[in-house]
Structure formats: structure tokens, C-alpha cells
Structure 1
């Protein structure tokens, strides 16, 4: 029974997530088939680990990893959480929800990232920081070298990715779409229904109803998307049954 991550890297965009889901659907990438044991959580839940599981196949209703997390925030089609500093207090009993009343607000300064040539940490730009942690920049006591957890659910599959901000900004973690063997995959129509997304990607609809991925909804318009042959959809927010904290 597999406990291996499906991918090691950073899932940045909706396309990245779709490629991982497609790779798992085809059996090219492994899915979790059972809950992680405690020793596996300590060994496998690290920066760059991306896990995928099928809720029906595994019976997993609540993903747990043994860490303390902030409440979730929406980031496009994803939910993001930040690891909390247990020493500063993470709520009654230090549970994994990581919620606590009356936490001191932190300064809104940048998270540590590696400078391009200095070899030491420098503040990240506010815009770049928000692409990695959303609105989780203050209010909670985050662990200084802690992980970010990024999740998405699609057609019964659930993905949980972990990363450290510095690992992303320094280029240590590659995205799925930067791998030739993954970017060449055609994403199944089953994954492209607009009802799956808060921010549906741009898709091309064939005469037989087949859907083909064409781009991110917030990407610059291309000649193809201007031509009318592709369409972006607006749908209500997702409401999944699985708890990620």
C-alpha cells in the first residue's frame, strides 16, 4: 500500500494541479492508498512533497499530518495554510487547527527568502509573498522556517502540497508544468468541468462536448482566447467534504 508522494516540487497553478491529477489518473504518478503512520508523517511531510488520494478508495475523510496550522485562506482554486509556531501557542491542546483567540498580530514585513546572489535571507516583495501564502501574512504566530500547505480537490481526488517559501523563491522546487513528461499530457475532460473550480480555467469546447485546457483564467489573453473558440467560466465557490487541517 502506497504512502509515497505523487510529486516532489511546487504546485503553483491550476494547470500544475491538473497535470498531477492526470498523471495519477493514468497511473504515471502514485496516489496515497492509506493514512500515513506517525513515523511516515515525520519523514514524508517535508517541503516539496505533494500527496494525492482518492477519498472513495481510501476512506480518508480528514487528512492529518501532525503539524499545527493556521485557518485556511482561499488562493485562486486552492486553499492555503501556514504552519504555526507551537512555542508561541497554537490553541487549546496545540491541536492541528492551530486556532487561538487573541494572538498578537505580527508585522506585515516580508517572509525570508534567499537573495539572488547574497546567499542570505532578504524580504520578499509583497506581491510575490501573496502568490505563495495568500492573505496569511500577519495575525498568527507563524513558524519562521515553517511550511505552507496548499490543497485542492477535484472529481473525488484530493491534493495536498507542502513547501517552504524560500524553497520556492530560490528555485529549488520545480513545478509540474516545467517537466516535459507532464506538460505533454492532455488533461481529461472529466477534470475540466467549470463546476470543479472557483476560478475556472479557459477551455476549448469541441462540437462533441470534449473539453481541452487552453490557459489559466487570469493569464494574459492570447489570440486563441480572443478568437471565441475558447471559453472561461464563472462558477460558485467550491464546498468540499474533506477537512484539510
Structure 2
């Protein structure tokens, strides 16, 4: 989902799904779906050693069983597990490996925000890790309609990206993700069908008179 904050009137993105606290992955904020929401008033803390939760409410420490989802094992937040997560696992879920009670085959939410001409644009993405591993979610570079499109300079500069922007052989593109601002929370309460969004420019050598300008439609900001 992509939305422009001013035209849509959406200030807070919510979706009625229980999410873990956000973690930074490249230039994105990443969330994983939880088995159940945190009780009201509880601090959202990761587990301690031996799978026990350090989440507290009123000074009481509550225990939680280990989750049975993939990517359970590894070294996370100082916890000692049997194996270390592979690079592929880290690439998909970042540090959200076994620190909370993640829902089995639950969703992952990835968000990023870009400001264009003073207007915030938010992108919110929902997907299953299994679909990524199965190759069901191609990247824009794999789409022949988007492969030759080069983002406008304004979309790449002044965005407070954490990860560096790479110079590709045939133009500039985003290397891994954008870094969304950390002051928003998102949930699909609505999104516009027509917004004023920054267009992408096509490379001059590829028929500039017939520029294909797919639009960046949304970019969410994380919450929790």
C-alpha cells in the first residue's frame, strides 16, 4: 500500500494485526506478526534467556513458551540458542528471529517513508516469508516494465537513508531499502486511489518521449 499523507488524510496506519515492536532492516522498518497481542499496559520487551519473556506489567515478570515458527534459533538480544541464524534468515526477518511469540506462518510488515516536495509518502508492504523464499515476490528489477526506470534524484537525496544508495551500471537505484522515519504507526484504515505522487523517470536512452512513469504510491511509517 502506498499513500501520500496530505491528499489521503491518513496520519496513522493501523491494520488490526498484532505486531512485534519494529526493528530496522536496511532502510526499512520491519515487524512480525505475533501469536497474540501484548496485554494492555505491558511493556513490549523481548525474551530473556531460556525463552522467558522479560515483558513486565506491574513489576511482574511473565513467562512465555518459545515460538514454533521458522527462524527460532540463533543468537538474539543476548539469548543463547543452539544455532546462529543464517544470513538468509537475517535478510528476511532482521533481528526478529526468536525474541517474541511470533505467529506460525504469520505476516511480515515492512515500511518506509519518503518526503517529496515537502509531502510525506508512505509505503507499507505485507508478505509471508515463505513466499519470499519460494521466489513468488519478484523485485522491480525483475519486471521488464520497471527494469529501465530510474528514480528521480529528489527521491534519493535528503531522505536520511541508513543504507547507502548504489550506483548501478545503467543508473541509480535503491540498494536495499529506504529508511522510514521512526515517528509513525501504520494500519490499513484506508488509502487513496488517486494521489499526487512522485513519478519515476526513465533513462534518456530508452525513448524519453514515451516515458513510463510508475508512481510510488505509498510509504508507511512504523509503530509499536
Say whether the fold is shared (TM-score over 0.5).
Answer: yes
Q: 1:63 to 1:163 in 2, by over 3 A?
A: same
State yes or no: 1:168 paired with 2:132. yes
State yes or no: 1:72 paired with 2:14. no
User: Which of 154, 158, 161 is matched with 2:122 structurally?
Assistant: 158
Q: How does 1:1-245 map to 2 (within 5 A)?
A: 51-86=1-36, 89-92=37-40, 101=56, 102=62, 104=64, 106=66, 110-111=70-71, 126-155=86-115, 156-203=120-167, 213=172, 216=175, 239-244=181-186, 245=223
Structure with the larger RCO, 1 or 2 (CA within 8 Å, 6+ apart): 2
Deviation at 1:216, TM superposition (A): 2.7
Indicate the SS of the match to 1:191.
helix
Deviations 1:160-208 (A, max 9, x none): 111111111011222222101112112111101054311230359xxxx
CA RMSD, 1 decimal: 3.5
Q: How many residues align?
A: 156
Please report the TM-score for the alignment, with normalisation by the length of structure 2: 0.59
Distance 2:25 2:163 in 1: 10
Structure 1 unaligned blocks of 5 or more: 1-50, 113-123, 205-211, 219-236
Deviations 1:77-96 (A, max 9, x none): 0000000002xx532299xx
Structure 2 unaligned blocks of 5 or more: 47-54, 57-61, 73-83, 187-222
Higher helix share: 1
Deviation at 1:241, TM superposition (A): 4.0
Distance 2:128 2:173 in 1: 29
